[in-house]
Amino acid sequence: MKYIYLIIIALALVLTSCKTEDDTPQPQQEQETPEVTTTGSIENISTFGGSKNDSAEAVIKTSDGGYAVVGYTQSVNGDITNKSDESYDAWLLKFDANNNLLWNKTYGGSNDEKANDIIQTNDGGFIVIGYTFSNDGDVSNNAGQQDFWVFKTDPQGNIEWEKTYGYSGLDYGLSIIQTNDNGYFLTGVLDVTASGGEGNTRSNQTLHAGGDYWALKIDETGNLQWSKYFGGSFSDTPYDTIQTEDNGFIIIGSSDSTDFDVTNNIGSYDFWVIKINSQGILEWKKNYGGSQIDEARKIIKTNNGNYLIVGDTRSEDADISNSLGAADVWSIIIDDSGQLLQETNYGGESFDVGRAVISDLENGYLYCGSSRSGTGQLTQNNGQNDVWVFKTNSNGDLNWQTSIGGSNIDYGHGITQLDNGKIVVVGVSSSNDIDIPENKGFEDLIITTLN
């Protein structure tokens, strides 16, 4: 036993002495976010589509470093390869970080479908929301004229499941988020008159008229858990939503109602913001704006835990302190109780609108929309509406701005920033000159990358 013990010790010493420096475990270093300084300079502009009408409505960065674009197409030629009729279909395109198109697919039936929003899901696939008029093809059911349509794909864009939600009227989905329980939260417009109040699962139903904010909570396979509607007797349109730390939701949009859930209309259409709890019970509601038309489009969380909402305003009074032109991009910051903390106008002498905003890698914000102005904070206008992109610091001060377009109408609808710092802006263009290299039909989907 003594000799065996000595042999074991000797082998241990040999193995220890043979261990190389490369075998020594090295402490793992955290990947640092690359330092980024953007200038708004245009890197690339591309159009996609066919001979009819094609548009991008939203863009997201993806987990592989690239991005995905969603919108709709009416074309059956050009860049569209799996479509046989000229009804509108939802259109999903996947790109890598160098703007190379990896694949694109259309989805729908024999009638019209349009997609309005997209997210990448936790499993690497995608989920898209919009509306459908069909009851065939990729659409398995339709309860009325127009329904919410939600479909889930795998990472290659193949449909895994799809669902419709709606009643006999015109119901359409506008935004979707994945929730903390791996389900989804949808918002859009419910045709309350046509639904007969059936779109509301709360016990005491009050039948409004017209179109209301419609909020639906579904599980991870699309099964409806609850739905609620909010609004008044006129037009209430919810464009975006965000989940709050208490698992509730803030929904933003526009309203010109003055009754039922809307109790403080300032004038015409207002930014209308509501907070509901995790079961859809209304906790508070706020109106922001002036005496003219004010519409909220996107909401994000700020770095200090408040909420930034962007849209546009035609007002010059009440909450709007610095009108710049006929219509301005209007950005407001509220706290978690809806108190207005800050408001800022951006634009020039003509009509400027905000459609999207994100936090950027420089601790500020990136906005996109469209502009008819060539003065004020803008330095040029190429003709009619241009895509407008601008950056602010965390205090809302303008750092740079860029107009993109040709002599016809060009709109910016969505914006994202990739991990490499490049900014991707998507929208729709009917131009074929100046900044726009080509027009393939009536309207094309346009993608611009900036540094």
Residue 144: what pLDDT?
84
* Cα 129 from Cα 119, distance rounded (Å): 9
Q: What is the pLDDT of residue 6?
A: 38
Structure tokens of 361? 């890698």
Alpha-helix residue ranges (DSSP H) falling in 72-112: none
- Supply the mean pLDDT for the chain: 92
Dist CA 265 CA 263 (whole Å): 6
Residue 52 sits at the vertex; the CA angle it makes with 49 and 56, to the nearest 5 degrees, is 45
CB burial class (10 A; 0-12, 13-18, 19+) of residue 139? buried
Phi, psi angles (nearest 5°) of residue 188: 180, -160
Q: Taking the CA of residue 228 as centre, how many other CA atoms within 13 Å lie in the half-sphere pointing to its CB?
A: 19
Q: Round to whole Å and give the CA distance between 311 and 65.
A: 28
Whole-structure pTM over 0.85, yes or no?
A: yes
Contact criterion met (CB below 8 Å) for 137 and 109: yes
Domains in the chain (CATH in brackets) are: 55-356 (2.120.10)
Q: Which 3 state secondary structure label does DSSP give 162?
A: strand
Residue 30's pLDDT band (cuts 50, 70, 90) = very low
Token pair listed for 186: 């949808």
Instruction: Report the C-alpha gap between 320 and 268 in whole angstroms.
Output: 14
Query: Rounded distance, CA 198 to CA 56, Å?
Result: 33
Q: Give the number of C-alpha atoms closer than 13 A to the C-alpha of residue 414, restricted to the C-beta side.
A: 27
Sheet with 386-392, side-by-side order of all strands: 352-359, 365-371, 386-392, 398-404
pLDDT tens digits for 140-154?
999 989 999 999 999
- The CA distance from 128 to 188, in Å, is 13
User: Does the pLDDT at position 18 exceed 80?
Assistant: no
Grade residue 1 by pLDDT with cuts at 50, 70 and 90: very low
**DSSP H or E run through 192:** helix 192-195
pLDDT-derived band at 182, boundaries 50, 70, 90: very high
Q: Is the pLDDT of residue 26 over 60?
A: no
DSSP at 317: S
pLDDT digits (tens, 9 = 90+) for 341-398: 999 999 999 999 999 999 999 999 999 999 999 999 999 999 999 999 999 999 999 9
Query: Could you tell me the pLDDT band of residue 423, with boundaries at 50, 70 and 90?
Result: very high
Q: Are 78 and 47 contacting, i.e. CB atoms less than 8 angstroms apart?
A: no
Q: Which residues of 197-221 are buried (b: 16+ CB within 10 A; e: fewer)?
A: ebbbbeeeeeebebbbbbbbbbebe
Sequence-ordered list of residues with C-beta below 8 angstroms from that of 199, at least 6 positions apart, any chain:
167, 171, 190, 192, 214, 227, 229
Percent of the chain scoring above 90 in pLDDT: 86
Which residue is it, tokens 């082998």?
11
CB of 260 closer than 8 Å to CB of 236? no
pLDDT at 323 over 60: yes
Three-state DSSP at 85 gives coil
Mean pLDDT of all residues in 246-250: 98
Alpha-carbon gap, residue 426 to 117, rounded angstroms: 13
Mean pLDDT over 20-33 rounds to 43
With beta carbons less than 8 A apart as the criterion, state whether 405 and 420 touch: no
Query: How big is the CA angle at 431 (ends 425 and 433), to the nearest 5 degrees?
Result: 100
